[in-house]
């Protein structure tokens, strides 16, 4: 059996990128700050349909172009929803391999992660089997803990040397992550709050963090939002010293409401705001 390809420097670079060794400070667990610059991850396409933005990357070549551009703009890692030849989301081994190889060639040394969201396949057992057939491995994957089969999928990926971003949408998902024994074994805990307003989303964050804090986990946290909440939650993450993400997956506009030119412009603005919040 052929050994799957993976990023050769994953463990060292990932340790540095997450800031796992520098979480600390006074106060409750959810009030702790990272003393190193928090990770800014680029989320370059999401589930958006081709054509929803003129610069939305879909093909491996598009994703490679944007990988290089967002790293220049300040991204320390990249999250991508792999697409098949028809433009639809895919986790098929050949599609994953083509996209990862293209992006790594364009942005060598940058950690690249992919989505495993349930909607791509629509069947937990089939998703698990397909992921087990990957021949080129991402550095990390997002696994949503509100989905059927999430714990087993995370265990499979960890056993193959792939980092896990735990996608947490509410307190129930946080509890599933904790009860499944993953809250202390993930690469990062990704807070993706839901709600009609930013304040609703922040209450959702507080509910999730109460569960996580009670578990004693010190795994780094990433906070982000989408649509109207994208920029407010980037700013909130910067204020807290949390990791965050930015890109066309979460928003098509800049903070002033104008349409962003591309992923790189969004990432550059996020990096600027994070630096300003830190007094850099």
pLDDT in the model for residue 37: 82
Are 225 and 245 within 8 A, CB to CB? no
SS3 state at 119: helix
E strands of the chain, at which residues?
Answer: 23-24, 33-34, 40-43, 77-80, 111-115, 140-144, 163-168, 188-191, 221-223, 244-246
Q: What residue spans define the domains of the chain?
A: 10-277
Predicted confidence pLDDT, tens digits, the chain (280 residues): 455 765 543 333 343 344 333 222 223 344 344 447 899 999 999 999 999 999 999 999 999 999 999 999 999 999 999 999 999 999 999 999 999 999 999 999 999 999 999 999 999 999 999 999 999 999 999 999 999 999 999 999 999 999 999 999 999 999 999 999 999 999 999 999 999 999 999 999 999 999 999 999 999 999 999 999 999 999 999 999 999 999 999 999 999 999 999 999 999 999 999 999 988 6
pLDDT in the model for residue 80: 98
pTM of the model: 0.89
198-245, pLDDT tens digit by residue?
Answer: 999 999 999 999 999 999 999 999 999 999 999 999 999 999 999 999
pLDDT in the model for residue 14: 42
Give backbone dihedrals phi and psi of 128, rounded to 5 degrees, phi first.
-60, -45
Fold of 10-277: TIM Barrel (3.20.20)
Give backbone dihedrals phi and psi of 244, rounded to 5 degrees, phi first.
-150, 180
Q: Kind of pairing, strands 33-34 and 23-24?
A: antiparallel
What the block records as the tokens of 176 is 């599933």
10-45, pLDDT tens digit by residue?
Answer: 333 343 344 333 222 223 344 344 447 899 999 999
pLDDT in the model for residue 250: 98
Instruction: Find, among 273, 268, 267, the residue nearest to 42 by Cα.
Output: 267
């Amino acid at each position: 059996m052929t050994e799957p390809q993976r990023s050769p420097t994953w463990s060292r670079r990932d340790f540095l990128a997450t800031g796992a060794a520098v979480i600390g400070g006074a106060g409750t667990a959810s009030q702790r700050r990272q003393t190193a610059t928090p990770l800014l991850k680029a989320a370059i396409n999401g589930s958006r349909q081709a054509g929803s933005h003129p610069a939305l990357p879909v093909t491996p070549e598009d994703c490679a172009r944007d990988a290089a551009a967002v790293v220049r703009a300040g991204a320390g890692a990249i999250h991508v929803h792999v697409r098949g030849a028809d433009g639809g989301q895919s986790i098929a081994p050949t599609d994953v391999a083509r996209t990862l190889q293209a992006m790594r060639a364009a942005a060598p040394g940058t950690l690249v992660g992919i989505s495993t969201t349930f909607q791509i396949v629509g069947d937990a057992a089939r998703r698990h089997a397909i992921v087990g057939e990957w021949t080129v491995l991402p550095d990390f994957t997002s696994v949503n803990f509100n989905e059927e089969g999430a714990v087993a999928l995370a265990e499979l990926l960890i056993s193959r040397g792939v980092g896990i971003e735990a996608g947490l949408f509410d307190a129930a998902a946080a509890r599933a992550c904790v009860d499944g024994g993953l809250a202390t074994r993930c690469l990062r805990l990704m807070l993706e709050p839901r709600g009609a307003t930013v304040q609703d989303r922040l209450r959702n964050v507080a509910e999730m963090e109460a569960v996580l804090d009670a578990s004693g986990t010190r795994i780094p946290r990433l906070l982000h939002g989408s649509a109207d909440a994208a920029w407010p939650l980037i700013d909130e993450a910067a204020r807290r010293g949390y990791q965050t993400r930015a890109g066309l997956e979460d928003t098509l506009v800049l903070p002033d409401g104008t349409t962003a030119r591309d992923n790189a412009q969004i990432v550059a603005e996020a990096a600027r705001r994070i630096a300003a919040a830190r007094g850099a």
